[in-house]
Amino acid sequence: MAPRARDLGLPFPGRPGPLNAITDVAGVTVGFTTLTDPAKKMRTGVTAIRPRRDHGRPEPVNAGHFALNGNGEMTGTHWIDDAGWFIGPVLITDTHGVGAAHHGATRWMIDTYADHFAEHAWAMPVVAETYDGVLNDINAMHVAPDHAIAAIEAAAGGPVAEGSVGGGNGMIAYEFKAGTGTASRLVEIDGRTWTVGCLVQANHGIRPWFQVLGKHVGRLMPEGTFRDREQGSIIVVLATDAPLTPLSLRHMAKRAALGLGRGGTPGGNSSGDIFLAFSVAPFGPASQRPGALVERVAFDADRIDPFYLAAVEAVEEAVVNAIVAGEDTPTVKPPGRICPGIDRARLAALFADDAS
């Protein structure tokens, strides 16, 4: 497994969870289907995030979403904006794979929650995308519904693979090979510890913009650039075990933009920068229809700033983790070029004096 950013001595702020991954949030699991076949110019896949291991009937999770720039897709967000929750898995794939992934997620939900869907129920899974057409023949539409189902069924806790896995397989960030990245932060309030986890599919930025902890890394490593403008996107998924309201989660999703800004991107016009935040805290009795009044526990908004900071820090680190995991990869369009993996030794050397 490739080293992560902290393994190179990069002194990110904040206190990470044991795995420094979205799976530090209790119950959250991640699975991948990774599709690579050079003969077919195939380098793509599907990433699945299951918010909780519900059984028999889907249990909603409070959620909020925010789009910094809308040149992209995340299905189900109109309902999240109106209702403040969703059910089922979250999938991330390539731009032309959204329909297939949505079909697969819907099929999985119908089969998994058979009793629920025997009634007048509907499935509205969250499926997001970024464009991998530089490293993958995206018009061949390699992603199929079964690939989405396989990713969901592969979802597990523990360490999360990064870089060229799942939907991140064909992705590029700041003109370095990138893809899937993750990180987490612990938040202590009133003697209790809460967790904020993050997973990104990083496919954004151009080299001159790239910064790491305030250092202009992109300007110091200009080799191998091949773009003169932004042509990518990024999806950010934030999870927490804290009982945050949908409004607070929407506000936390907005803070993903600040984490990305620390990496140097201004959010280019051609970029789709779309963010989702959800809470795995017990949803409450609403799904059992107890009556007209429902009581829930939620954080006081005046005490929530530490969660916002945790989100910013986790997003910042997750993007760098995605880039650090990258390896040199041949391009499909145009053919015959190499999208470089970042030189980890040079990156580590930039921070060697800081650690002394």
| pLDDT tens over the chain, length 356 residues | 789 999 999 999 999 999 999 999 999 999 999 999 999 999 999 999 999 988 778 899 999 999 999 999 999 999 999 999 999 999 999 999 999 999 999 999 999 999 888 888 899 999 999 999 999 999 999 999 999 999 999 999 999 999 999 999 999 999 999 999 999 999 999 999 999 999 999 999 999 999 999 999 999 999 988 888 888 899 999 999 999 999 999 999 999 999 999 999 999 888 999 999 999 998 865 455 667 777 788 898 899 999 999 999 999 999 999 999 999 999 999 998 999 999 999 999 999 977 54
Question: β-pairing, 233-240 with 172-173?
Answer: unpaired
Q: Helix crossing, 305-324 with 246-254: angle to 10°?
A: 50
The residue annotated as part of the active site, out of 94, 132, 241, 273, is 273
Find the catalytic residue in 233, 241, 248, 279: 233
Identify whether 184 is a catalytic site residue: no
Nearest CA-CA partner of 297 in 228, 216, 242 = 242
Q: How far is CA 63 from CA 31, 77, 120, 248, 250, in A?
A: 21, 9, 23, 9, 7
Q: Characterize the bridge pairing of strands 90-94 and 338-339.
A: unpaired
* Token pair recorded at residue 1: 């497994």
Clarify whether 271 is annotated catalytic: yes
Say how far residue 168 (Cα) sits from the centre of its chain.
9
For residue 11, what are its two tokens? Answer: 């002194």
Q: CA–CA separation, 44 vs 41, rounded Å?
A: 10
Residue 28 and residue 26: Cα distance in Å, rounded? 6
Instruction: Quote the CA–CA distance of 213 and 215 in Å, as a whole number.
Output: 6
Bridge-based pairing state of the strands 272-279 and 233-240: parallel
233 in active site: yes
Residue 39, helix vs strand vs coil:
helix
- Maximum CA extent, the chain: 64
Q: What is the DSSP letter of 183?
A: E
E strands present in the chain: 29-37, 42-50, 61-70, 85-86, 90-94, 126-130, 172-173, 176-177, 179-189, 192-203, 233-240, 272-279, 329-330, 338-339
Per-residue DSSP letter, 287: G
- Containing H/E element for 248? helix 246-254
Task: Give the pair of three-digit tokens for residue 97.
Answer: 């794979």
